[in-house]
């Protein structure tokens, strides 16, 4: 699990270090880390460093000085000035300081561009010369290493503006929102988090973290010698409708391939269809540990009654699709709601673009008011808990943006709830395993084909 902090939390943490140790050279540590990663990305050849007026530029200038020790380094002061001591160090080390025209020309020979124009202090709208240079970098084959974040992005947001597009980003102490939230995250390339001796404690209730594959492996429920179908978990699926029969099959595929002890099907799709594809399914209500509701219901009547009936069972439930608009009154402790941005916006009565701009606060709001965990699906998948804590699932490729992925995911999460995982963790682990399966099987696999590959991914993860 990796922490995600705000720019302000980083600045406060840095200040605490300076208060305790006024002479500490954090910029020196940051610059050495940048130079080291630069050597790994491009071990030889000329380096071109684009430098801004603040401390991000300072990191870049001291890194340039390190690199100039043994290779040609060109420095461009993108906004006409640079960190004073850093610039002196770079000049003393033999860096060649050039203007915008010469910088554009130097791009042709460069083995690496270091982008140190803006970092935590970045404001949207890069000056035109810098934006043009960033475009030229993108059009060239030269790799870009961004210091802290690709200049032009906002550290605390996943939104994109004119910015550099990096192959590598070196950041300090902890991840920031732009490194993990799409679409900005895609502009960061591989993100290296470097410890520069700045501890960043977080308020647990408001924490944002990103799960990794080790978390998924640790949390995945595995049977032992005492297990039977009931102790592994029985999940009851009320999914699909006459119009969306496939949704029933997709939720069953997700639930079974995630390792349910038993799947019961209680939805309105003809049981013969379900059994012809999945003969181990048991049709009708019975003993169960979790339910899945809503996938493929469409606008069918009686949603409120079906959700209320599920509540009477007293079981944790995954609530998906149209069941999200039929939530019963009262706290839904232990439930997992799985909206995408459009569904969450309808639940909140706001625009979809607002959810896309503020995904964390929107997911938190619904978790707080319902008492359920909320898995907000999309290119980045967020799980908010009623406490305010948010966990981002392991990211995956964009191929899973297709009809039916959400149905499979609801089934996977149902199995995990039935196995006894708390709702937030079922959401994180379910979304992560689907992303990991897609990452290991790149290409346009339909959701049922990817569901069929879950067992081998789960098996290899736990081996």
Ligand X SMILES: NC(=O)C1=CN([C@@H]2O[C@H](COP(=O)(O)OP(=O)(O)OC[C@H]3O[C@@H](n4cnc5c(N)ncnc54)[C@H](O)[C@@H]3O)[C@@H](O)[C@H]2O)[C@@H](O)CC1
CB of 14 to ligand X, least distance (A): 3
Per the CB < 8 A criterion, the answer to whether 441 and 453 are in contact is: yes
Tell whether residue 322 is among the known ligand binding residues: no
When binding is defined by CB under 6 A, the residue of 5, 6, 9, 27 that contacts ligand X is 27
Taking the least distance from each CB to ligand X, the nearer of 122 and 356 is 122
- Coil, strand or helix at 290: strand
- The bridge status of strand 317-319 relative to strand 336-337 is parallel
Record the tokens describing residue 317, joined without a space.
């439930």
CB 192 → ligand X: shortest distance, Å?
13
Based on CB atoms, which residue is closest to ligand X, 53 or 298? 53
Contact 6, 70 (CB under 8 A): no
Q: Are strands 382-384 and 373-376 parallel, antiparallel or unpaired?
A: antiparallel
Q: Rule CB under 5 A: say whether 146 interacts with K ion.
A: yes
Interface with ligand X in residues 72-131 (CB under 6 A): 79, 118-123, 125-127
Is 124 known as a binding-site position?
yes
Closest-by-Cβ residue to ligand X is 119
Residue 79 phi/psi, 5° resolution?
-115, 25
From the list K ion, ligand X, none, pick the one residue 146 interacts with, judged by a Cβ distance below 5 to 8 Å according to partner type: K ion
What does the alpha-carbon distance between residue 369 and residue 362 come to, in Å, rounded to a whole number? Answer: 11
367 contacts: CB under 8 Å, gap ≥ 6 = 373, 374, 384, 385, 386, 388
Q: Which of 386, 388, 380, 387 is nearest to 432 (CA)?
A: 380
* Residue 388 near which of ligand X, K ion, none (CB within 5-8 Å, type-dependent): none
Cβ proximity to K ion, 151 vs 239, nearer residue = 151
Q: Roughly how many angstroms between the first and final C-alpha of the chain, as a whole number?
A: 20
Q: Which of 30, 147, 336, 421 binds K ion (CB under 5 A)?
A: 147
Using rule CB under 5 A, residue 151 touches K ion: yes
- Interface with ligand X by CB under 6 A: which range of 47-55, 302-310, 347-355, 374-382? 47-55
- Is residue 107 within 8 Å of residue 48, measured between CB atoms? yes
Q: How many CB atoms lie within 10 A of CB 72?
A: 17
Decide whether 118 or 295 has the Cβ nearer to K ion: 118
| Residues in 137-176 that interact with ligand X by CB under 6 A | 147-148, 172
User: Which residues are known binding-site members for K(+)?
Assistant: 56, 115, 151
Residues at the site binding K ion, with contacts judged by CB under 5 A: 115, 119, 146-147, 151
Residues at the site binding ligand X, with contacts judged by CB under 6 A: 10-11, 14, 26-27, 30, 52-59, 79, 118-123, 125-127, 147-148, 172, 196, 198
């Amino acid at each position: 699990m990796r922490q995600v902090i705000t720019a302000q939390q980083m600045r406060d943490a840095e200040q605490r270090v300076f208060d305790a140790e006024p002479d500490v050279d954090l910029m020196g540590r940051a610059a050495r880390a940048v130079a080291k990663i630069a050597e790994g990305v491009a071990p030889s050849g000329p380096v071109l460093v684009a430098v801004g007026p603040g401390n991000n530029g300072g990191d870049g200038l001291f890194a340039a000085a390190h690199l100039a020790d043994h290779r040609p380094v060109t420095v461009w002061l993108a906004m006409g000035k640079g960190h004073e001591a850093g610039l002196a160090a770079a000049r003393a080390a033999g860096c060649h300081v050039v203007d915008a025209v010469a910088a554009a020309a130097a791009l042709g020979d460069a083995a690496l561009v270091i982008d140190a124009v803006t970092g935590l202090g970045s404001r949207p709208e890069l000056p035109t010369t810098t934006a043009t240079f960033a475009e030229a970098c993108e059009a060239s084959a030269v790799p870009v290493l961004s210091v802290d974040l690709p200049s032009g992005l906002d550290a605390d947001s996943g939104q994109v503006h004119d910015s550099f597009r990096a192959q590598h980003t070196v950041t300090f102490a902890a991840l920031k929102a732009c490194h993990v939230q799409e679409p900005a995250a895609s502009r960061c390339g591989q993100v290296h988090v470097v410890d520069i001796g700045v501890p960043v404690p977080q308020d647990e209730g408001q924490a944002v973290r990103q799960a990794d594959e080790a978390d998924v492996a640790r949390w995945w429920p595995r049977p032992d010698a005492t297990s039977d179908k009931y102790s592994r978990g029985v999940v009851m699926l009320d999914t699909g409708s006459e119009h969306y029969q496939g949704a029933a099959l997709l939720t069953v595929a997700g639930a079974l391939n995630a390792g349910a002890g038993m799947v019961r099907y209680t939805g309105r799709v003809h049981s013969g269809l379900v059994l012809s594809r999945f003969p181990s399914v048991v049709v009708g209500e019975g003993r169960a540990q979790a339910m899945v509701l809503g996938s493929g219901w469409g606008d069918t009547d009686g949603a409120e009654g079906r959700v209320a009936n599920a509540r009477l069972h007293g079981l944790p439930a995954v609530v998906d699709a149209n069941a999200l608009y039929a939530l019963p009154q009262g706290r839904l402790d232990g439930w997992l709601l799985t909206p995408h941005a459009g569904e969450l916006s309808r639940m909140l009565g706001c625009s979809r673009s607002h959810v896309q701009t503020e995904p964390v606060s929107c997911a938190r709001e619904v978790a707080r008011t319902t008492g359920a965990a909320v898995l907000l699906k999309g290119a980045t998948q967020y799980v908010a808990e009623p406490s305010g804590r948010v966990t981002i699932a392991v990211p995956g490729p964009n191929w899973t943006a297709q009809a039916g992925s959400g149905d499979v995911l609801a089934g996977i999460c149902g199995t995990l709830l039935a196995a006894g995982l708390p709702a937030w963790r079922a959401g994180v682990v379910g979304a992560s395993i689907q992303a990991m399966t897609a990452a290991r099987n790149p290409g346009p696999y339909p959701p049922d084909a990817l569901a069929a590959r879950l067992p081998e991914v789960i098996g290899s993860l736990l081996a």
